[in-house]
A and B are shown apart, each in its own frame.
Chain A
Amino acid sequence: MRGAAGLSAVAAVLGDLPRGVFAQKSSGITPFRFVHLSDTHIGYEGDANRDVAGTLDRSLMAIAALNPAPEFIVVTGDLTQAAETTTVRKARFVAFRSKMEGTGIPFYCVPGEHDALMDRGELYQKAIGPLHYRFERGGVQFFALDNVSRGFFVGDEQRQWLAQEIHKVDPNAPTIILAHAPLYDLFVPWNWYTYDAQQVLALFQHFRSVTVLFGHIHQLMSRRQPHVIQAAGLSTAWPLPEPVGLEKLEKWPQSASDPLMGLGLRVIDVGASGDMAVNTVLLSDERREEASS
């Protein structure tokens, strides 16, 4: 891992998140950098990734090499691979947590269906924290939502909480929503959607600009609406195919020649005007740079 090589600028520099989306306003924003990690699936054993802990380690090393260092990391769900027993699930949460804490960088998580669907997020709350919450960083509002623990929706109760929280924030401030599943119908047959996404986004309709960062689909995809941009992060575990037909969602076996293919993370720099620059770090690029050094 070589210094700035961490930002191997495979440069989705706004490949799908246009620059200036936040540029309308915003006074009082302190520029900062954060990292978007997703779908680490700690505990998975199988052909799709023969060493999920190893690929997370590689991602964390890439983050440690970033200059400037990120202020925090967001992880958009599926931190762990689901398991039948609570003991195994608990051990996986502990393993994930200890790896993340080892970086010394604060991190914020939202649950994925692997973390929370089997017990409606009960264990997740004990091991990681609340299922939904709000925080503010550098003048940017973050809403962390749970759209998986009771099914692929946000639900009445959480929407009521959201409606109350929204009244407390400045609608002109840049706003980022963190969620596991996309807040639009990306591909319903594979549960790549949130049933009540329209109702959720309607609560933000008076906001000047909203960005949704999600995971779940293990590949880069995005959607642009008038005041909402949604962008997926990369998985550190395995890539998934893009939906092309009514077939069952299946993982590919990990490539022998390029085992890190399609894995990575995103580095997001928020500027003083509220604009965001997004760089994609591909682990396979990191590996090539290691080999050539």
Chain B
Amino acid sequence: MRKVLWVLGVVALTWAFVGPRAHVALAQPFQHFFRRSPTPKPHVPAKPPAPSVVLGARLYVRACESCHGPKGNGEGFWSLPTGKNAPALTGLTPNAASWMQTIRDGRGMMPAWGQVLNHTELQSLALYLNSLNKPLVKSPS
């Protein structure tokens, strides 16, 4: 009987070391040494993006800055074909509906951005334009 148990023990140990799941039996107790922290997955918003000043600022750089300038004062990096500067976008009376229309349909040499921008993007640009025309908070001094 003792002999049989001894043989069974040897077989079980051999199986544990060379059997098909030997790597699991041996490595599992030490797995925490090798485990990497899980890779964070990107957050995918479930809803389409809402209009935002941040999106507007990003679009402004790509669509408007060349002519209207980084400060929106009409001092861009590219003159209009007539050699003039584009109008300043600062010092305007807030009028979101009118701005939206101008951005979408264009006016004079102003492009009709409605050809390539969706409603959210147009609204975002109007929000950014609004932010350029907000009075700055005065410093206490």
B-contacting residues of A (Cβ < 8 Å)?
81-84, 113-114, 117-118, 150-153, 155-157, 188-191, 195-196, 246-249
Q: B residues within 8 Å of A by Cβ?
A: 61-63, 65-67, 70, 76-82, 106, 108-109, 111-113, 115-116
Q: Is the Cβ of A248 less than 8 Å from the Cβ of B78?
A: yes
| Pairwise interchain contact B77-A247, C-beta atoms closer than 8 A | yes
Bound-complex Cα distance A146 to B128 (A): 29
Taking a contact as CB atoms under 8 Å apart, the answer to whether B77 and A189 are in contact is: yes
Q: Considering only CB atoms, which chain B residue lies closest to A78 in the complex?
A: B81
Residue from A151, A153, A191, A248 having most chain B Cβ neighbours under 10 A: A151
Known: A113-B81, A117-B81, A117-B109. A155 touches B66 (CB 8 A): no
Question: How far apart sit A83 and B70, CA to CA, in the bound complex (Å)?
Answer: 27
- Decide if the interface of chain A is mainly helix, strand, loop or mixed: loop
CB-defined contacts of B116 to chain A, threshold 8 Å: 151, 153, 155-156, 195-196
CB-CB < 8 A to B76: which residues of A? 189, 248
Assess the A153–B115 pair: CB atoms within 8 A.
yes
Q: Which residues of B contact A150 (CB under 8 A)?
A: 106, 111-112, 115
Given A150-B106, A189-B66, A191-B66: A83 touches B82 (CB 8 Å cut-off):
yes
By a CB distance below 8 angstroms, the chain A residues around B113 are 151
Task: Tell me if B's interface is mostly helix, strand, loop or mixed.
Answer: loop
> Are B82 and A195 touching (Cβ within 8 A)?
no
Query: What separation, in Å, do the CA atoms of A162 and B58 have in the docked complex?
Result: 28
A190 touching B115 in the complex, CB below 8 Å, given contacts A82-B82, A118-B108: no
Q: Contacts A155-B116, A156-B115 known; A118 to B109 CB distance under 8 Å? A: yes
Distance in angstroms between the alpha carbons of A248 and B86 in the assembled complex: 13
Docked complex Cα distance between A64 and B63 (Å): 41
For A196, the chain B residues whose CB sits under 8 A away are 116
Within the complex, the shortest CB–CB distance from A227 to chain B, in Å, comes to 23
- Compute how far the CA of A189 lies from the CA of B106 in the bound complex, rounded to whole angstroms: 19
In contact, B81 and A82 (Cβ under 8 angstroms): yes
Residues in A neighbouring B62, C-beta threshold 8 A: 188, 195
A151 to B, closest residue via Cβ = B111
Tell me which residues across on chain B come within 8 A of A84, comparing CB atoms: 82
Contact B106 A190 (CB under 8 A): no
| Contact status of A249 and B78, CB under 8 A, knowing A189-B66, A190-B66 | yes
Q: Top 10 closest A-B pairs, CB basis?
A: A151-B111, A82-B81, A155-B115, A189-B77, A114-B81, A153-B116, A196-B116, A191-B66, A150-B112, A191-B78
- Residues of chain A contacted by B115 (CB below 8 angstroms): 150-151, 153, 155-157
